[in-house]
Amino acid sequence: MDYRELAVELLRLRSEQFKSGVWRQTAKLTQGEYLALYCLQGHGGEAYPRQLSDELSVSTARIAAMLRDMEEKGWIVRRDVLSDSRHILVTLTDTGRDEMYRRREQTLTALSGALKALGPEDSAELIRILKRMNEICNDRK
């Protein structure tokens, strides 16, 4: 078996996935602003920009730009921490939380439909294989 050839095919398939609406929608939830919303939610609705930068593996400059855009959309508020003027605390707003849940529900509905079309056995097998790939790839960091 030529594993390099299989790897090329896997890359090709992954790039094709992002041309479809369902996978594109899924990708948006797992990166950028939506991932930052989930990250904030995971921190009880508040976090420092540095925490977000570390957790999302993006530069502080990218986080600053992202937070500016998210604040303009009303998804977060930024405020100075009274005890330390060098720190800003980012807080998830109700609007941001609602947007996060709305987008998540849309994506879950689309993915559920795709998995239903795939069928129960293939869906279970897909999840099993993806979990195994995650384990293998995470061990190789």
The residues spanned by each domain of the chain are 21-139
Q: What pLDDT is stored for residue 140 in this prediction?
A: 67
Task: Please write the tens of the pLDDT for every residue from 5-15.
Answer: 999 998 888 88
Successive 10-residue mean pLDDT values, the chain, 141 residues: 90 80 70 89 94 91 93 94 77 96 90 93 95 86 57
E strand residue ranges, the chain = 46-47, 76-81, 84-92
Whole-number average pLDDT of the chain: 88
Whether the CB-CB separation of 46 and 89 falls below 8 Å is answered with: yes
Q: What pLDDT is stored for residue 26 in this prediction?
A: 73
Q: Does domain 21-139 have CATH number 1.10.8.50?
A: no
